[in-house]
Structure 1
């Protein structure tokens, strides 16, 4: 049990020389103190939950509120007691959350997402062609990993891709743990203003896109969304829809460059390979925040109403009690889909099927088209996003031939 004087602070660093591994603290806590008190930059102490079974149970517990969203615990200066904004698919609970999620979930079914696969394939092939046409090294992040999910989410939401510079800049601020309160408010205000103008146009003149269909679906149900609700929902989908997948594409590429013997498996069994990469990398790096609305037990710990908990997804996905040789990237692992990289329970990532398709197509086509892909810089010079909610690489210079 962690003594008061020994309460560790979040976030904590990754092991030296092991950029894909979660902090070493998590390994110790899983063994000795799986529900441990930690001190958060957001101004609160919280229970850090590190074992797979406990994390899964926590995220499935409807008495746990998601009011703090995914990040307020690692953003200094935020207000953990601020009421969730209307329309937030991430922060709302109960029927308010179900109302918003019902409007969105029909857009991300397996069948619906499969109809987008051919579009994703064309994007991937076009971007590989563009990279191969260049002389010298290219940055895989800028030329491949970022534009593909950005184009997909823009197409889906009906956001002009020509405006990507605006929302990507603001998105970078919003997922940073180093932003000041003023920087976060300014980025949020600019992006909300942009989306408000765009969505007002869709109310007047509906198009064939997700936002227009959601507007129509809500009105048909006799419960139309307000413009503030629509803006928050659209902002959440836009930011989450490209940040997580872009970082997964680039980080997965680096992992495969480190494990060249596994590339044939990725090409032969892409579905299982992607699930294992999702488990192994777990890019939502600072966990998911929950608030206890009543007294509960988490593992062997008594948690009181009003206390905060952090579900450490990356720790749960490296739990040896659930995954044999959990720190090893193993594409032949049994039941790789048991990972919780997309969360679990009622707030599980609504866009996970689309992310899977993008990752399958991006990685298999990249290594099939460029089998001799390699880093264009020394391995130790690669820089990582240690100060963002979604882990990844800042740049990934690559070459071939």
Structure 2
């Protein structure tokens, strides 16, 4: 795709560079992070791994739950209020910065029963906000879902007895990227 952009008349180098960066970050880096986090979730919840191993029809729900379950305090997505509004008794003025924490929303007790429990059979998992909502919904969401479904279906089928080779507390978190993630997931 980047090669095609470079060969297209009328698109400047700056625009190609911006689009390429967006593709590599949003279309690659975030999926890589989710593959690692999803693998750790499944491998640290053996009953969920086994359920997916027994019933491949659970893959779609498993991916949705992997997208919903991680982190409750992600730092948030910066947005600016367009108009004055009130949220939970607090007045926010037009132009003020708001930090929207999708992770916290994905653990809302009113939206998800037992939100801190990782459950690949959770029916409401598809209502998570990991890809945003409305006009800010990620256009790459269908591709990410498909990539994760294929990867985890193959992983469970190909390596049914796979386990973490280290304690989950020994996994190193990436601090050199905006998306975070795990540096590696050693398995046996």
TM-score by length of 1: 0.43
User: How far has the Cα of 1:369 moved from its partner?
Assistant: 0.5
Partner of 1:233: 19
2:8 pairs, out of 203, 209, 219, with: 203
1:278 and 2:64 aligned: no
Q: Which position in structure 2 is the counterpart of 1:262? A: 48
Match of 1:335 among 124, 127, 130: 124
For 1:284 and 1:244, the matched residues in 2 are separated by 17
The runs of at least 4 aligned residues of structure 1 exceeding 6 Å deviation read none
User: How many pairs does the alignment contain?
Assistant: 185
Match among 72, 78, 95 for residue 306 of structure 1: 95
Contact 2:172 2:182 in 1 (8 A): yes
Return the offset for 1:376.
2.2
Match of 1:393 among 175, 179, 182: 182
| Structure 1 residues 245 and 381, CA gap change in structure 2 (3 angstroms) | same
Counterpart CA distance in 2 for 1:373 and 1:323 is 29
Task: Tell which deviates more after alignment, 374-383 or 359-368.
Answer: 374-383
Distance 1:321 1:383 in 2: 33
Match of 2:138 among 343, 349, 352: 349
**Distance in 1, Cα, partners of 2:72 & 2:65:** 13
Are 1:245 and 2:31 matched, yes or no? yes
Give the drift of 1:340: 0.3
User: Residues of 2 paired with 1:231 and 1:387: CA distance?
Assistant: 21
Alignment RMSD, CA only?
2.3
Report Cα offsets for 1:127-153 as digits up to 9, x if no partner.
Answer: xxxxxxxxxxxxxxxxxxxxxxxxxxx
Instruction: Write the distance in 2 (CA, Å) between the matches of 1:377 and 1:325.
Output: 28
CA distance in 2, matches of 1:282, 1:226: 39
Structure 2 CA distance for aligned equivalents of residues 252 and 236 of structure 1 = 23
Distance 1:378 1:320 in 2: 29
TM-score, length of structure 2 as denominator length? 0.87
1:36-68 per-residue CA deviation (whole Å, 9 max, x = no partner) reads xxxxxxxxxxxxxxxxxxxxxxxxxxxxxxxxx
**What does residue range 114-193 of structure 1 map to in structure 2 within 5 Å?**
157-158=1-2
| Cα distance between partner residues in 2 of 1:388 and 1:158 | 22
Task: Report the CA distance shift for 1:226/1:387 in structure 2 as closer, same or farther (over 3 A).
Answer: closer
Contact 2:73 2:104 in 1 (8 A): no
- Structure 1 residues 69-148: aligned runs within 5 Å: none
Task: Note if contact 1:373-1:398 (Cα within 8 Å) is conserved in structure 2.
Answer: yes
